[in-house]
Structure 1
Amino acid sequence: MIWLTETDQPFPPLSETTEEGIIALGGDLSNERLIDAYKQGIFPWYCEGEPIIWYCPDPRMVLFFDNLKISKSMRGILRKNNFTVTFNQNFESVIANCKTIDRKDGLGTWITKDMQQAYIELHKKGIAQSVEVWQNDELVGGLYGIDQGHVFCGESMFSKVSNASKIAFIYLVEKLKREKYALLDCQVYNDHLASLGAEEITRDIFLQILKNKSIS
């Protein structure tokens, strides 16, 4: 593991990744740095006041679309059609909600102000994308991530009402499947993602899929 002290300093080889999945510290959140990171399966994950921490974990949590699990009760909610789902209509509100939403598991606080602005800039380039879930014209859920053209790297999601983030997730998966993407990158294990059908694969397998084609 090394400190990134120069703007154009490359990430070290994956052989230097720690057991926790940390590959480097420091650097910046420039468009160029973030694009280069995601091409290599690396992503930033840290808290306000900490140096930037770059991860490339092994194993990797992913969803293969045919494995998506939609419960009977969730299918009933989808049939009622009480929500409207859009794509890339309000990215800034989605990431702001992901940053500030109160979560029982404590996740979400890692979206720092600098990270928020960096992903907004990537959205302007069409690389960071969002899914919005609306109820009575109010934004009640959503998610955002990085679109690599054949792999979508999910970053964070939020719900203000029950099941809103699940609806965003399901609509995204259906869209990616229609467009022949390879998988949805969920990064690291959690029970919620596992309940939706995500699974862990080795980093090597993930990187083989990722490197077939990536963002330019």
Structure 2
Amino acid sequence: MVFLLSDEIIFPNPLLADKNGLLAVGGDLNIDRLLLAYSMGIFPWFNPSEDILWWASPYRPIYTPGKIHLSKSLKQTIRKHNFEIRVDTNFKEVINYCGSIARNGQEGTWISDEIINTYQILFDIGYLHTVEVYLENKLVGGLYGISLGKAFFGESMFHLMPNTSKIALFALSELLKNKGFHFIDSQVTNPHGLRMGAHEVTNVKFDRMVKEAMKYDDDIGKWDFNLGNLRELIK
């Protein structure tokens, strides 16, 4: 069944979502509500003209940090170009580029001005992180997501050059491996993610994984990419 949220900052059990993963409708994008949602494995996804929809997918695609699959051609791209990885230096440009790209099966983009302003706050207080790929000092790809406990909830990515969103994901994976994170949540399954090493878990297993990850302190604040050159990481 689908629940109607009130002004009270509370969510139903995510395992009660309907067969499509829709759990609740309504509420607002209050920062405390968003952090509670992510801490329960729930995420917002809606068109700007709609009520806020909250989702908890029946099958969740996740990546294991440090186990992103790099194709032979992607490794060649990394070796060919002198990409630079930066973390948490350019939120506004990253989310604006992400907002220019529609999700599969959705017309337009869900990243409205309200979303940008709200997630700017999450970035400013240290819960949202960006991974940025630069070539010759120009931003060419990146992603952003929410960090809570030992879980990272990926939100969106973009590329202005082939494969650079994949490079951002690889860099994030290596960074999170170094930080001891348990998983990267990809929210919605797609062939691109599966090729990169994502695997689906049931909502029951995902719920257990989220609860375990939330036992750890939040890694709040600006992060740094201190793992060296990308070329060294793919050897």
Is TM more than 0.5 here? yes
Compared CA separation, residues 108 and 209, structure 1 to 2 (3 A): farther
Are the equivalent residues in 1 in contact too, given 2:94–2:144 (CA < 8 A)?
yes
Give the aligned partner of residue 22 of structure 2.
22
- Counterparts of 1:79 and 1:200 in 2: how far apart (Å)? 30
- Counterparts of 1:49 and 1:86 in 2: how far apart (Å)? 34
Structure 1, residues 30-69: CA drift from partner, whole Å, max 9, x if none? Answer: 1100000001000000011000000011111101235421
- Counterparts of 1:23 and 1:104 in 2: how far apart (Å)? 20
Compared CA separation, residues 17 and 191, structure 1 to 2 (3 A): same
- TM value normalised by structure 2: 0.86
The alignment status of 1:69 with 2:79, answered yes or no, reads: no
- Counterparts of 1:135 and 1:66 in 2: how far apart (Å)? 23
Give the aligned partner of residue 190 of structure 1.
190
Give the aligned partner of residue 210 of structure 1.
210
Give the aligned partner of residue 232 of structure 2.
none
Give the aligned partner of residue 54 of structure 2.
54
Map residues 114-193 of structure 1 onto 2, 5 A cutoff: 114-193=114-193
* Greater Cα offset, 13-22 or 33-42: 13-22
Letter in 1 for 2:42: I
Compared CA separation, residues 56 and 102, structure 1 to 2 (3 A): closer
Deviation at residue 80 of structure 1 after TM alignment: 2.6
Structure 1, residues 65-99: CA drift from partner, whole Å, max 9, x if none? Answer: 35421111111112234211100000111011100
- Counterparts of 1:130 and 1:145 in 2: how far apart (Å)? 7
Structure 1, residues 102-126: CA drift from partner, whole Å, max 9, x if none? Answer: 7787577121221111111100110
RMSD: 1.9
Identity within the alignment, %: 38
Compared CA separation, residues 136 and 15, structure 1 to 2 (3 A): closer
- Counterparts of 1:187 and 1:55 in 2: how far apart (Å)? 9
Letter in 2 for 1:5: S
Are the equivalent residues in 2 in contact too, given 1:98–1:108 (CA < 8 A)?
no
Are the equivalent residues in 1 in contact too, given 2:84–2:135 (CA < 8 A)?
yes
Give the aligned partner of residue 80 of structure 1.
80
Runs of 4+ in 1 over 6 A off after TM superposition: 102-105
* Greater Cα offset, 124-133 or 112-121: 112-121
Classify the secondary structure of the residue corresponding to 2:33: helix
- TM value normalised by structure 1: 0.93
The alignment of Structure 1 onto Structure 2 pairs a total of residues equal to 215
Compared CA separation, residues 182 and 83, structure 1 to 2 (3 A): same
Deviation at residue 9 of structure 1 after TM alignment: 4.0
Deviation at residue 101 of structure 1 after TM alignment: 3.6
Deviation at residue 13 of structure 1 after TM alignment: 2.5
